A and B are shown apart, each in its own frame.
Chain A
Amino acid sequence: MDKARDVVLGAWEDTEALVGQVLMSFTGADRVNVPDIRRRLEVLGWDAPIHYDENAARRAGYEGIVSPATMVISWVLPAYWSPGDQRPISGDPLLLPRFALRKIPAPGSALFATDCVTSYLEPVYVGDRISGEVRFLGFTRKTLRIGDGAFMTAETRYRNERSELVAVEKITVFRYTPANSIQGPERHGPH
């Protein structure tokens, strides 16, 4: 098991049973906020006044400082630790985002994103709290040079607290058993 992958293993029948189902719902740990936006601009060296200057944002037609549209995924990621949780100890598993396509039972522990299409429907403002709901749209079995597996697609619908749909994302990953490790069935391996 690759410690970095953190995937749920199973048979293709298990995968089929989840098609059309909601895999996961989550709400961001924090409201959309200026410091996190500032750090997004900082890491890219990206100057866009609508993301830090109230007057510039209003001049551009917004109701206030607006988040970069592509931050929507970060705004729904839950906390890695919250008050009341156990404190970290040696040997704890890696802290990984709970991306839904890792949690679909299927053969093969390897995966990588191949495509992602997102429609941005409404501005996301400072103060908003964003939630997401992930639905499994389906999968197509495929054997590639790197291994046997399937293209899996999930749709995430992002909403603000007013239940307005702010973005819809379709992401596809290739989930597979690497060709050089097919001799060992992984479906009963550790997750």
Chain B
Amino acid sequence: MALTKAPAEVAAAARHQLLLEDVSAGDEIPAFTLPLTLQRLVMEAGVNRDYTPLHHDDEDTRLTGAPRSYANTMFIQAFIEAALRSWMGDRGQLRELGIKMVSFNLAGSLVSAAGVVTAVDGDGNGGPRNVHIDVWMRSDETLTVTGTAVVSLPSNCDSTRTNGSTDASDKEIAGDQS
């Protein structure tokens, strides 16, 4: 099935955009969830091209001490990126992601990624506009990943420098690229 959407739907998705001024320390990144079936791990192996049996073969995985197949590093990184992207919108940029593996994201569990803003740098006036975030993942109730992320966000100052509207800022950017 194609992912292509009708223009109105695309426009609606594009309107969801967090600005630097919207964000404060303590803000929560909503949980992004996925039922991590073994079938989905097989799909994931096809996507990231790591065919290590630990990530799709329960029997082989048990030989290593883990209870069953579990997600690999590339899945974890992408899953956290998806959580951050869904929160910040299209014009945010992931600058850095650091993760520490604590436990396994197991086949058959509901995995989730979430976070909390720890600091906001800059005021959007030409300086840094980075948001620092603690991130984590769970496999059902088990904490599996901890980490930190840095994202940059657009600012109200972007549109103020044009004509004061965010929509105008979007048009300016589109114009710059044409």
Interface residues of A (CB under 8 A from B): 2-4, 36, 38-50, 52-53, 55-63, 68-71, 73-74, 77, 80, 94-97, 110, 112-120, 171
Contact = CB atoms under 8 A, between A and B. Distances in A.
Contacts, number: 147
Given A95-B51, A97-B50, A115-B100, A49 B63 contact: no
A43 B63 contact: no
B174 A70 contact: no
Contacts of A49: 5, 10, 13-14, 90
Interface of B: 3-5, 10, 13-14, 34, 40, 43-44, 46-54, 60, 63-64, 73-74, 77-82, 85-86, 90-91, 93-101, 170, 173-174, 176-178
Contacts of A39: 43, 46-47
A120 B13 contact: no
Nearest to B80: A70
B43 A43 contact: yes
B95 A119 contact: yes
Nearest to B43: A43
A115 B51 contact: no
Interface of B is mostly: helix
Contacts of B49: 74, 77, 80, 97
A59 B174 contact: yes
B50 A2 contact: no
A110 B64 contact: yes
B85 A48 contact: yes
Nearest 10 interchain pairs by C-beta = A117-B98, A70-B77, A60-B90, A46-B82, A43-B43, A70-B81, A70-B78, A60-B91, A61-B173, A58-B177
Contact of A97 (B51, B91, B95): B51
Given A47-B86, A63-B177, 14 more contacts: A4-B64, A38-B3, A39-B47, A43-B44, A49-B13, A59-B90, A59-B173, A61-B176, A69-B94, A70-B78, A113-B101, A116-B77, A118-B96, A120-B95
B174 A40 contact: no
A41 to B, nearest CB: 6
A68 B81 contact: yes
Contacts of A120: 93-97
A41 B100 CA distance: 23
Contact of A48 (B90, B96, B99): B90
Contacts of B177: 58, 61-63
A117 B86 CA distance: 21
A177 B75 CA distance: 27
Contact of A74 (B74, B98, B99): B74
B147 to A, nearest CB: 8
A4 B53 contact: yes
A52 B79 CA distance: 17
Contacts of A62: 177
26 contacts: A4-B52, A4-B54, A39-B43, A41-B3, A43-B44, A44-B78, A44-B82, A46-B82, A47-B13, A48-B82, A55-B10, A56-B14, A56-B90, A58-B177, A59-B170, A69-B81, A71-B78, A73-B48, A74-B47, A96-B52, A97-B52, A112-B101, A114-B100, A116-B77, A118-B97, A120-B93
